[in-house]
Amino acid sequence: MSTESSTATDAFAGQPIVELERDGVRYTLLGTAHVSKTSIDAVMAAIDSGRFDAVAVELDEQRHKALTHPDALAQLDLVKVIRERKIAPFAANLALAAYQRRLAEQLGIEPGAELKAAAVEAAARGLPLQLIDRDVGITFRRILHGLRWWDRMKLVGGLAGGLFASDEVSEDDIERLKEGDMLESSFGEFARDTPSLYATLIDERDQYMAAKLRERVDGATHVLAVVGAGHLKGMARYLAEDQREPAELTAQLAHVVKKRNIPWITIILMLLICGGIAWGYFNGGGELGRELLLQWVVWTGGLAGLGALLARGHLLSILAAAISAPLKPFRPGLPPGMFSALVEVHLRKPAYPDFLALRDDAQTLGGWYRNRVCRVVLVFLLTNIGSMIGVWVSGAAILRKLVG
């Protein structure tokens, strides 16, 4: 096994590379900047040199489709996304797409254009293409799993703020993007200040991509791997030294642990509220019990409905939010936003142009209200936020009645 790191000046247009050999396969890792025309030239020259019999790129299936098939989003089954509770990763993808579009408008180049060039050129030359990056939705869910509640709120708030930012991306951010990673750059300062987030965004993916490379393409003896420069060092180390079984490692790093911890705060709060209402009926008479029950219905249903209204949901979507929110104790794990979003998507089914305009519309608040896909996401999120606030407000109101 041998390793050689250098900055090439011939077929790689001066871009950093690492070359190493393992198990009879020679790997050339080409480090690129995701916003550089020079990187595109380097990728094209390397593939056209005829030195490689397989190409690997820092993409997952979803991002590959988004880059190479602009209308791929039009095939999205939004109902399935809602039912499988994948709205949060979908919203994160929209945030990433909006950030990329801002970069493209500012720099005159689509972020990840060199990865698209590698995929297109490999197909044109009949070379096998490996998609070696981990699914961005899995990465996002693993990130959330490793963060504390407050850090999750900061992360979600930062992503939401980035969606509607109108200012240009700073020069510092652009320079970091040239040397780093698209996902890391999208999370901004939060990624650099949170070690667990950095580990999931960068180090885990270094391991994952190195392992995917070791799941070799049949007959390939010299593989070109096009990856962001920020992954070059870590990937080279894992590719050269990691002795773990590749298939087992990728399965482990793609696994999202289902929370088994009991949500004690939610359970205790619900028990207190339901117990308080029951106590009011048996000890304070039917009038007090009905008053406490009304407090619960009005606050939870009212604020959930208000959330759907603020999202400009259909009248029946607002009604679905208002009805489902007070029933939360009887359907744990099913957020009221799921019901209001499903009603919204059925009554205002997104059209083909909505999907085509999704990346542009996701950049502005007006676009979120204009685009039916975005508005379904808004209905889901704002209904849940309203319901959550309603639970705490009604709980406080019921407690005041009981101790007052």
Q: Count of domains in the chain?
A: 2
| C-alpha dist (Å) from residue 384 to 191, 298, 335 | 26, 15, 7
CB burial class (10 A; 0-12, 13-18, 19+) of residue 403?
exposed
Domain boundary among 228, 253, 278: 253
What pLDDT is recorded for position 312? 94
Tell me: pLDDT of 189 over 60.
no
What pLDDT is recorded for position 4? 53
Considering the domain architecture, whether residues 14 and 99 belong to the same structural domain is answered as yes
Query: Is 358 part of any domain?
Result: yes
For residue 337, the enclosing domain spans 264-403
Considering the domain architecture, whether residues 175 and 301 belong to the same structural domain is answered as no
CB burial class (10 A; 0-12, 13-18, 19+) of residue 329?
middle
Name the residue with higher pLDDT: 100 or 228. 228
Query: Is 259 part of any domain?
Result: no
| Mean predicted lDDT score pLDDT of the chain | 79
Tell me: pLDDT of 379 over 70.
yes
Considering the domain architecture, whether residues 130 and 234 belong to the same structural domain is answered as yes
Tell me: pLDDT of 388 over 80.
yes
Degrees, nearest 5: CA angle 171-176-180: 155
Query: Is 134 part of any domain?
Result: yes
Name the residue with higher pLDDT: 123 or 7. 123
State the virtual CA torsion across 348, 354, 360, 363 in degrees, nearest 10: 10
pLDDT in tens, 144-188: 776 776 666 666 666 665 555 555 555 555 555 555 556 655 555
What pLDDT is recorded for position 90? 77
What pLDDT is recorded for position 56? 95
Q: Tokens 């208002």 — which residue?
A: 322
Confidence of residue 358 (pLDDT cuts 50, 70, 90): confident
* Closest alpha carbon to 238 in 214, 207, 198, 204: 207
Considering the domain architecture, whether residues 361 and 242 belong to the same structural domain is answered as no
Confidence of residue 72 (pLDDT cuts 50, 70, 90): low
Query: Is 191 part of any domain?
Result: yes
Considering the domain architecture, whether residues 236 and 292 belong to the same structural domain is answered as no
Considering the domain architecture, whether residues 135 and 165 belong to the same structural domain is answered as yes
Considering the domain architecture, whether residues 185 and 309 belong to the same structural domain is answered as no
Which of 60-64, 155-159, 203-207, 361-365 is the least confident region? 155-159
Considering the domain architecture, whether residues 183 and 215 belong to the same structural domain is answered as yes
What pLDDT is recorded for position 76? 73
Query: Is 48 part of any domain?
Result: yes
Tell me: pLDDT of 249 over 90.
yes
Name the residue with higher pLDDT: 81 or 186. 81
Query: Is 133 part of any domain?
Result: yes
Considering the domain architecture, whether residues 26 and 137 belong to the same structural domain is answered as yes
Q: What proportion of the chain, given as a percentage, has pLDDT over 70?
A: 70
Domain boundary among 209, 225, 253: 253
Confidence of residue 10 (pLDDT cuts 50, 70, 90): low
The 3-class secondary structure across 292-347, one letter per residue, is HHHHHHHHHHHHHHHHHHHCCCCHHHHHHHHHHHHHHHHCCCCCHHHHHHHHHHHH
Q: What is the mean pLDDT of residues 247-270?
A: 72
What pLDDT is recorded for position 155? 66
Confidence of residue 87 (pLDDT cuts 50, 70, 90): confident
Task: Look up the pTM and report it.
Answer: 0.70
What pLDDT is recorded for position 399? 75
Q: What proportion of the chain, given as a percentage, has pLDDT over 90?
A: 31
Confidence of residue 402 (pLDDT cuts 50, 70, 90): low
Contact 222, 28 (CB under 8 A): yes
What pLDDT is recorded for position 398? 73
Name the residue with higher pLDDT: 69 or 324. 324
The H or E element that residue 230 is part of is: none
Which of 34-38, 195-199, 370-374 is the least confident region? 195-199
Q: What is the mean pLDDT of residues 317-325?
A: 94
Considering the domain architecture, whether residues 197 and 249 belong to the same structural domain is answered as yes
Q: What is the mean pLDDT of residues 261-285?
A: 64
pLDDT in tens, 275-314: 766 766 676 666 776 777 788 889 999 999 999 999 999 9
What pLDDT is recorded for position 285? 63
Sheet holding 16-22, edge to edge: 2-7, 16-22, 25-32, 222-228, 54-57, 129-131
Give the pair of three-digit tokens for residue 329. 């104790």
Considering the domain architecture, whether residues 148 and 289 belong to the same structural domain is answered as no
| C-alpha dist (Å) from residue 359 to 93, 111, 242, 330, 364 | 10, 13, 38, 38, 10
Which of 17-21, 211-215, 398-402 is the least confident region? 398-402
Query: Is 258 part of any domain?
Result: no
Among 14-28, 143-157, 347-361, the range of highest mean pLDDT: 14-28
Q: Tokens 């993808």 — which residue?
A: 93
CB burial class (10 A; 0-12, 13-18, 19+) of residue 295?
buried
Give the pair of three-digit tokens for residue 150. 């407050």
Query: Is 388 part of any domain?
Result: yes
What pLDDT is recorded for position 163? 55
Domain boundary among 253, 279, 304: 253
Considering the domain architecture, whether residues 245 and 297 belong to the same structural domain is answered as no
